[in-house]
Amino acid sequence: MRICLPVDSANGLDSEIFPNFRAAPALLIVDLESKQWQAIEVGSSACQATPTQIDAIICAGGLGRGQFNGLRQRGIRVFNSQAMTVMEALQDLVTDNLEEVTEVECCGGHDHAHGAHQHQTGGCGCGSHGHAHGTEHRGCGCGNH
């Protein structure tokens, strides 16, 4: 199983999980069987950088409804985690201690503490408010514009 996680920086399994998938500086792809990982540095949007050859995403709640629906349509499972590091989140997944997200009410991502600092974002935390997608402004679909 290949898992994708949004991270502050690519430090392998010790990487800190970034609270907002769309605004993550990097994505870490981990193969659970081999424990090998690959980092993807993200340009402007993790949504566009998300690889197609993954089975699941583990995030901290900062995921928009549109992106969530797109992932589900591709058969990608979504799990929400309060873990601080990739290793902790993967351990929770393997021991069946993560709840699979089956519906997104809102994209969340308000306060997810990392070490001595906290990430806080404006709006609902999804990072897509005020951004145009194509030629039409649609936001993330969470309803918190």
pTM of the model: 0.69
122 against 1, higher pLDDT: 1
| Token reading at 77 | 């499972």
110: left (phi over 0), alpha (psi -120 to 50) or beta: alpha
User: Per-domain residue ranges for the chain?
Assistant: 2-107
Q: How far apart are CA 81 and CA 120, in angstroms?
A: 17
Check if CATH label 1.10.1740.110 holds for domain 2-107.
Answer: no
Q: How far apart are CA 68 and CA 34, in angstroms?
A: 27
**pLDDT, position 44:** 59
**pLDDT, position 140:** 39
Q: 2: helix, coil or strand?
A: strand
> How many residues are listed for the chain in this entry?
145
Residue 67 · residue 76 · CB < 8 Å: no
Residue 123 · residue 142 · CB < 8 Å: no
